[in-house]
Amino acid sequence: MAVFTTVSEAELTAWLSDYSLGQLLELQGIASGIENTNYFVTTGNGRFVLTLFEKLTADELPFYLNLMAHLARHGIPCPNPMANRHNQFLGTLKGKPACIVSRLNGKSVDTPSIEQCASMGAILAHMHIAGQSFSQLMPNPRGTVWRAMAAQTVRPFLDHEHATLLDNEILLHADNDFSHLPQGVIHADLFRDNVLLEKNRVCGLIDFYFACSDALLYDVAITVNDWCLNHKDGGLNTELAQAFLRAYHAVRPLEACEQTAWQQMLRLAALRFWLSRLFDMHLPRNGELVNPRNPEHFRRILQNHIGTTQPVWL
């Protein structure tokens, strides 16, 4: 989340006239993240988050908004899109597709505990189960084709050692086929800053705009790669990872084929975010508040996974 497009209180007040959300009381830009323009909005009827979409088009967005509405109806703690007076989730503000969703309680954590990792594993499994009844499909936009394109674009910025690492991983995962694994809707970006907790309870999953249809295990790997690390060296913390996986397994039992694919999936998840962070660092967009993240973090995670012969499992 970030601010690329500035919205004034007067502009938002006019836009909100199409909603039954009460009078605007406060508007505050959100600085974290890199994809969309986001504001905290407080009205007479409550607290919300306003999003202006900088990349996604109006044709692409119904998948994400309908997914959040679906998950919210099934008891998953995620933002609930607000419909306007025409019963539409999506509007236009400053020439950009825009929506406003409920703002959830809780806050993100920097260093998750064993109990918090277990809570995260359980809620992710519940989300995957709830998503099985969602009928819309969205092929993963950060799949094989995107990885090849992004790698070609960022490769000139890398030294020989890191370029070789990138080439080898792109080649490896181009030949991997995970279509035999359990499939469904995944969040694909459940980093710690996209999860809100109150003590040890997960009470909010946010920022669904990378959600897509893919292997459920890929979502598990993405989340474990951020939640269950030894942050000094980028390796997995065994206690945290096992607590996460056991809690997930208790809700949606993991299959034998998923165990076989686990180590490769951890590498694929690390590669995906190393690539996107390289892209954002070397080819940034102009924005009022933008905080690009260090790609070296995920390169270290990737290299740790490559060097691991016995990956953490249940």
Mean pLDDT (whole number) for 21-48: 91
Please name each of the domains of the chain with its CATH number: 9-102 (3.30.200.20), 114-306 (3.90.1200.10)
pLDDT-based confidence at residue 293 (cuts at 50, 70, 90): confident
pLDDT-based confidence at residue 163 (cuts at 50, 70, 90): very high
pLDDT-based confidence at residue 291 (cuts at 50, 70, 90): low
Residue 276 has pLDDT above 50, yes or no: yes
Residue 79 has pLDDT above 50, yes or no: yes
Q: What is the mean pLDDT of the chain?
A: 94
What is the SS3 assignment for 51? strand
Mean pLDDT (whole number) for 160-173: 97
pLDDT-based confidence at residue 288 (cuts at 50, 70, 90): very low
pLDDT tens, residue by residue, 135-158:
999 999 999 999 999 999 999 999
d(CA 155, CA 87): 46
pLDDT tens, residue by residue, 260-275:
999 999 999 999 999 9
d(CA 150, CA 276): 8
pLDDT tens, residue by residue, 100-127:
999 999 999 999 999 999 999 999 999 9
d(CA 182, CA 167): 28
Q: What pLDDT score does 231 carry?
A: 77
In contact, 289 and 2? CB cutoff 8 Å: yes
Percent residues over pLDDT 70 in the chain: 96
Residue 32 has pLDDT above 80, yes or no: no
Radius of gyration from C-alpha coordinates of the chain: 20
- In 187-303 the beta strands, taken as DSSP E runs, fall at 195-198, 201-205, 212-215, 229-230, 235-236
Under DSSP, the state recorded for 25 is E
Mean pLDDT (whole number) for 282-310: 82
Partner residues linked to 108 by β-bridges? none
In contact, 272 and 305? CB cutoff 8 Å: no
Tokens 């990792």 belong to residue = 117
Mean pLDDT (whole number) for 36-45: 95
pLDDT tens, residue by residue, 200-233:
999 999 999 999 999 999 999 999 999 999 977 8
Which has the closest alpha carbon to 52: 29, 70, 69? 29
State both tokens at 22: 């009460």
Residue 173 has pLDDT above 60, yes or no: yes
Q: What pLDDT score does 34 carry?
A: 66
Q: What pLDDT score does 1 carry?
A: 47
